Structure 1
């Protein structure tokens, strides 16, 4: 058997806000500066030492499978649309792909443009040596998410903690970049109630799992200030290609 994958690329979204561009082309294959969005991410993973990547699919999955992907990468697929008739959301999709993933693995979205982000092995080793279930990269809030997602608390004796801030908490929030390192345990009992491998195709978001783990001090985080764009609208795509 081949080695477990060390990364999962989320590519199952329909891209409704990107229509009509995504009516005939899956969002991960839309091009930024002449290169498919997902290829920016795959090449960055490869530079960081990842050789095995799981890609989940739904809309126009055959185009993703048949695309001319960067050479040297072993891509595997979790065909949520084929198996269950639609995407399983982030947590549901990760649990479905978990049998193909390593004990520690990266997760990132195929539709986020981060040309300078480094998926380095030092970050993996640091996270593996910790007791955390996830390590997230947060970014300054973009115009489309001014309220942010999670707080950040600096620690004197270790990595900063991600905070699940209650409504009305005055501490600043930052936006989740979609890039994170995870331990398999977060997607298994007792943290996650979905059966191993998600045989029933349960749809489940990731945020509740993360917030629960944050409340137990089990999620670390850091702020990334390099170029980052959530390519969620045709206008943002056009701006990147200007």
Structure 2
């Protein structure tokens, strides 16, 4: 299996930290955020990783290189203009191939292992869902007892920014065209081909300087 790390975003809510440094390279616990994902993927046996880059992308490519020192192979999908989530995945498909792949946002922290989700079978994607945090109390989707995701229903969970995905979810999109992920997910829901997995372990969306500082405190407290 291959993996894709989404690292092309601007990080506008953290501008005092990301004016000169791309968000995936912000350091916490002594290393860059994106390095935790690379090391977790390697531990799970996923060593072929695609990273999309746009804003300050040269810094990311220079910092990580070809992945040799991490024991993985890193390849980069360069976006001259940020293509949003679905557009970025679509642009990277030539590097990802035709098999299901593991997708993770560079700016989340999570202790989930890719082998937790099981095979996709006929689903186009299976999203990792987590309990609603304080900053997003309304949630995103309802996960029913059969593992199906719906836009309506209670309780609502939050998409963790991590998923197992089929290339077919975005393959019909026009390349080099910005496109958000939500319309693709809605189509998959309508086809009853969107599953979810409720992760009850550690997760944090590093969307603000305050959340980055909180994660730093949590990691420091563990020594």
The TM-score, its normalising length taken from structure 2, stands at 0.91
Counterpart residue number, 1:76 = 75
Partner residue, 1:136: 127
CA–CA distance in 2 between the matches of 1:29 and 1:92? 22
Could you tell me which residue of structure 2 aligns to residue 215 of structure 1?
190
Shift of 1:176: 0.1
Q: CA deviation at 1:239?
A: 1.0
Distance of 1:164 and 1:42 partners within structure 2 = 31
Over the residues paired in the alignment, what is the CA RMSD in angstroms? 1.4
Determine whether 1:145 maps to 2:128: no
In 2: Cα distance, 1:234 partner to 1:187 partner:
32
Equivalent pair of 2:86/2:181 in contact (CA under 8 Å): yes
Structure 2 equivalent of residue 161 of structure 1: 148
Offset of residue 164 of structure 1: 2.1
Provide, for residues 165-194 of structure 1, a one-character-per-residue CA deviation record: whole Å limited to 9, x for no partner: 2xxx5x221000011011111122xxx4x2
Gaps of 5+ in 1: none
Who is 2:113 aligned against?
A: 118
User: Residue 92 of structure 2 corresponds to which residue in structure 1?
Assistant: 97
CA displacement at 1:237 relative to structure 2: 0.6
**Could you report, residue by residue, the CA deviation over 1:23-68 in whole angstroms, capped at 9, with x for unpaired residues?**
1111000011111100111111111111111100111111100114
What do residues 127-151 of structure 1 show as CA deviations (whole Å, max 9, x unaligned)? 2xx1111011100001111100011
Whole-Å Cα distance in 1 between the matches of residues 16 and 32 of structure 2?
17
Residue 237 of structure 1: aligned partner: 212
SS of residue paired to 2:61: helix
